[in-house]
Structure 1
Amino acid sequence: MAQAHDAAAAGFEPAGELKIGQVGIANLRIRTLDIDRLAAEMRERVLRAPKLFERGAVVVDFGGLPGIPDAATARALMDALRQAGALPVALAWGSSENEKLAVELGLPVLARFRAQYESAGQAGAQVPAAPAPAPAPAERAPARKRAADEPAAAPATSGGAGLMQTTAVRSGQQVYAADRDLTVLAAVGAGAEVIADGSIHIYGALRGRALAGAQGNPRARIFCREFHAELVAVAGHYKVLEDIPAELRGKAVQVWLDDDQLKIAALV
């Protein structure tokens, strides 16, 4: 023990450096506790877009149910989701019963996600501040997991009220504009990701993913000069490439929410 204390005092670096960063995972809000149906829906998502959803980290939210399931049922659901190709990593914030269930399952509880289903007043009164912002939930677009050997986030510069990215966002890179809009003056490459709590403006080609309104703002929009996106999302409502009409590809478009439906239209 004394040797360890002496090593720390001498300025040796710790074996592991712990930092709190952005949480880039999807939230699955359970509305009907039908395990077979939920697994089938997840399997379909993975089959349609394996690069986006296969082995994707998922927070399971039981807030849409009248009550919390028992531990055996919850474990069966987690196993079914894993077999379908997803990786349940936590429960969304909820009641004290939800907290007890998380302990029984050996999973953490993440506060940020459930708050995004509540009104601003409710969220402020009930949910403790989370240490890191996250892309929005349930039926929500999952952010790309970055491996240790992939490039770090692309450099960006603050542009007053918004964040301005002046260089291309390459594959494996992510740019996130917290509490503001994001403007990208170059291309967003395949496998790259741009996220903003506000709107996103892309003056080059979009070949990767763009997620606007990441904290649940339904008025956020995405504007793009050349549209080839792998995925676009506004306030968590998303479409993948397979869902996008062929006639819009390569065109200048805008993406927005209308009555909780994601719309994509050409700019004229």
Structure 2
Amino acid sequence: MNARTEAGDACDLRFGQVGLASVRIRRADAAALCEELERRVRSSPQLFSRTAVVMDLSELHPMPDDGVVDALLEAVRSAGMLPVALAYGTSETEALAVRMGLPVIAKFRAAYEPAAAEPVARPARPRAEEPVSAPPPTAAQAPATTGPGAQYHEGAVRSGQQIYARDRDLVVTGAIANGAEVIADGHIHIYGSLRGRAMAGAQGQTDARIFISDFRAELVAIAGQYRVFEQIPAELEGKSVQCWLEGEKLLIEKL
């Protein structure tokens, strides 16, 4: 071994986009959490098994003690997912993350209000049986993105590949293979077949939409609300569709 090799760097450290899921915990019940996550993993094992997840504890008031949080982390692991971080929140969250030996990821901003403010009441979720007052959106109604122009990807997106359009829309002209991901902070327009995953509104933009020419997706998501498809509904398979949010419900309709 020469001197150059011995003196060389031991590793190469880089920062980049990493695909992470977020688990927002609504109650400090480790058994119920494990049961719910196991059900989701069973429904789509290729998608959820050993998925890296960020834990969002923002709906737990007061913040549970370390023992309870440790039980919640173990519940996620038992379900087959891998907790790797806590969602950005308050100084209390940061202190908890230090004690748990986990990082805090600011990209996933938990639903905290500023520490000095009282929590703001959230609007009630619309009931599933309530009729939708507004007609479904169309491509012409899609709001413009306020950031820079759209990012274009020419050709196919291969399995295992991820394309991310930060602060803008994403336009893909080719097919997106199974196991591939396209992500945008704005809208997503896909002019080929979607067989992988498409996630719009990645930073929480609930008015983002997804337009797909040939719908065969594994998953579509907008602002974190997602739908997984083990089998595409016959009326949607291979069709041109649009996806949008109505409250917290992700809707899909043929164009």
Q: TM-score normalised to the size of structure 2?
A: 0.81
State how far apart, in whole Å, the 1-side matches of 2:112 and 2:249 are.
19
Q: Which residue of 2 aligns with 1:203?
A: 191
State how far apart, in whole Å, the 2-side matches of 1:177 and 1:103 are.
31
State how far apart, in whole Å, the 2-side matches of 1:41 and 1:171 are.
28
Q: Please give the per-residue CA displacement for 1:221-255, whole angstroms capped at 9, x wherever unaligned.
A: 11011100000001110001137533211111000
1:36 aligns with 2:31: yes
More helix by percentage: 1
Q: 1:25 aligns with which of 1, 6, 20?
A: 20
Q: 2:158 aligns with which of 151, 156, 170?
A: 170
Q: Which residue of 1 aligns with 2:249?
A: 261
State how far apart, in whole Å, the 1-side matches of 2:210 and 2:85 are.
29
Q: Which amino acid aligns with 1:212?
A: A
CA contact (8 A) 1:190 1:207 kept: yes
State how far apart, in whole Å, the 2-side matches of 1:165 and 1:93 are.
31
Count of residues in Structure 1 that have an aligned counterpart in Structure 2: 220
Q: 2:52 aligns with which of 57, 67, 86?
A: 57
Report the secondary structure of 1:36's partner residue. helix
Q: Which amino acid aligns with 1:33?
A: A
Q: Please give the per-residue CA displacement for 1:200-227, whole angstroms capped at 9, x wherever unaligned.
A: 1111110000001111111111101110
Identity score, percent = 55
State how far apart, in whole Å, the 2-side matches of 1:88 and 1:181 are.
29
- Cα RMSD for the two superposed structures: 2.0
State how far apart, in whole Å, the 2-side matches of 1:51 and 1:246 are.
22
Within 5 A, what are the aligned runs for 1:140-219? 161-219=149-207
Q: Which residue of 2 aligns with 1:248?
A: 236
| CA drift at 1:112 | 2.1
Q: Which residue of 2 aligns with 1:126?
A: none
Q: Please give the per-residue CA displacement for 1:62-85, whole angstroms capped at 9, x wherever unaligned.
A: 111111111111111111111111
CA contact (8 A) 1:63 1:114 kept: no
**Structure 1 gaps, min length 5:** 1-5, 123-159
Report the secondary structure of 1:113's partner residue. strand
> Greater relative contact order: 1 or 2 (C-alpha under 8 angstroms, separation 6 or more)?
1
**Structure 2 gaps, min length 5:** 115-147
Q: Please give the per-residue CA displacement for 1:83-118, whole angstroms capped at 9, x wherever unaligned.
A: 111111111122233222222211111122125x36
